Amino acid sequence: MKRLILEDKIVMLLVFIGALFRFYNYNSWSLSNDELSAITRLRFDSFAEMIEQGVRLTDMHPIGVQSFLWVWTNLFGVNETMLSLPFVLLGIACIPLLYLSCKNFFGKFPALLATAAFVGLEFPILYAQLARPYSPGLFFSLLVLYSWSEMMWKNNAWKWKTALLFVMGGIGCMYSHYFSFLFAAIVGLAGVFLIQKQNRVKYFICGTLMFLFYIPNLNVFLYQFSIGGLGGSEGWLGPPKSDAIWKYILYCFNESAFLLLSIIALIVLMLFVFKVKFTWTMKHSLALVFFFITGTHRLLLFYL
């Protein structure tokens, strides 16, 4: 049996703390309007009718989460405890996936810092408790990122188990949320230029499998995007204002400028006072590309 090192113990502690935060009072507050809307669109006599009337014509998300809710509520009914439980569990599972992904990109210490921040910030805690596509979308996005980083930088030989995780993560992204779909697509495209030449055909097979499994949602996808997205220029979701980026960043850090400045100060201390060695690499560039291409689209969530 492998002996746990200090790093493993810290990660386990962070997962435990994160679980406490996400389980704390998760079922004691009323369902949000977003969740109530999803529940209303489950009330159809058949699964096929729910997909047509409850997703394709009246929603702007893929069929994955709504399909899961249809099965889940038919098994356990509609109550705050059972409705949110799977989403809370996925939110907790994001913690070790975030650590493993960051570790492959930046090393152990930055991964621990990022994970510690993720565990305690209000933003990921709140969205882990909502029975909506956000928790599944993040989980599958991190599953894609972890397995992809293993394929690109950790595995000396092709491992089909890792490739299977990559395919499962991609399919989950595509069925959870269109933003997570976009993220998986950008990560997958980057891999075309980074994957070892001898593994390129196998990598394309992974992409082909994702597309084949997405065919059941293709009709929904084409219809939803044909009507102009979320209501067009006069729709209920208006365009971001000039201060949207600042508000989004502040929101991510618990609406606290003090917390944000404290984190910036910590980084400055590490770089210039404690002389922590830092070298900009291609991995840092990739992380920025992934954020700016897909992460900035999530500014829209600020207005939901």
Mean pLDDT of 27-31: 84
> What is the distance between the alpha carbons of residues 103 and 110, in angstroms, rounded to a whole number?
7
> What is the distance between the alpha carbons of residues 139 and 97, in angstroms, rounded to a whole number?
8
Listed residue (147, 125, 126, 156) closest to 17, CA to CA = 125
- Residue 108 tokens, joined: 């152990």
> What is the distance between the alpha carbons of residues 102 and 96, in angstroms, rounded to a whole number?
10
> What is the distance between the alpha carbons of residues 104 and 37, in angstroms, rounded to a whole number?
39
- Residue tagged 């070298």 (tokens): 279
Mean pLDDT of 96-102: 96
pLDDT of residue 232: 46
pLDDT at 240 > cutoff 70 = no
- How buried is residue 300: exposed, middle or buried, by Cβ count under 10 Å (0-12/13-18/19+)? middle
Residue 176 near residue 62, CB atoms below 8 Å? yes
pTM of the complete model: 0.89
pLDDT at 59 > cutoff 90 = no
Beta-carbon contacts of 3 under 8 Å, excluding residues fewer than 6 positions away, are none
Query: Residue ranges of the domains in the chain?
Result: 6-227, 239-304
Residues 194-239 pLDDT 10s = 999 999 999 999 999 999 999 999 999 998 888 754 544 455 555 5
Q: How far is CA 122 from CA 22, 72, 281, in A?
A: 10, 27, 30
pLDDT of residue 9: 92
> What is the distance between the alpha carbons of residues 35 and 32, in angstroms, rounded to a whole number?
5
pLDDT of residue 160: 92
- Residue tagged 């499962």 (tokens): 168
**Mean predicted lDDT score pLDDT of the chain:** 87
- For the chain, report the end-to-end CA distance as a whole number of angstroms: 48
Identify the DSSP state of 5. P
> What is the distance between the alpha carbons of residues 271 and 264, in angstroms, rounded to a whole number?
11
